[in-house]
Amino acid sequence: MVVIVKEFAWPFTSLVLVLLAYYSNHWTYLHLFTGLFSAIGIVTAFFMPESIRWLASNNRKEEAVNVLLTAAKWNRKQEITEDQKTQIRVILDQMEAGSKEKNETTLNPLTMFKTAASIKKTLILLFTWSTVNLGNWTLTLNSTRLSGNVFTNYRFSGKFRLKLLLQTFPCQLDHDCR
Q: Name the residue among 165, 154, 136 with its Cα closest to residue 16.
A: 154
pLDDT digits (tens, 9 = 90+) for 140-161: 777 677 777 777 777 777 777 7
The answer as to whether 79 is a domain residue is: yes
Q: Are 11 and 158 in contact (CB under 8 A)?
A: yes
The answer as to whether 83 is a domain residue is: yes
- Backbone dihedral region of 76: left (phi > 0), alpha (psi from -120 to 50 degrees) or beta? left
pLDDT digits (tens, 9 = 90+) for 107-133: 788 888 888 988 998 898 888 888 877
The answer as to whether 67 is a domain residue is: yes
pTM of structure: 0.46
Write b or e for each residue in 73-92: b if 16 or more Cβ atoms lie within 10 A of its Cβ, otherwise e.
Answer: eeeeeeeeeeeeeeebeeeb
The answer as to whether 169 is a domain residue is: no
Q: How does the average pLDDT of the chain come out, rounded?
A: 78
The answer as to whether 76 is a domain residue is: yes
pLDDT digits (tens, 9 = 90+) for 37-70: 788 878 887 888 888 888 887 888 888 888 888 8
pLDDT of 177 > 60? The answer is no
The domain in which residue 58 lies consists of: 50-105
Q: Name the residue among 44, 48, 45, 22 with its Cα closest to residue 33.
A: 22
In the chain, the number of structural domains is 1
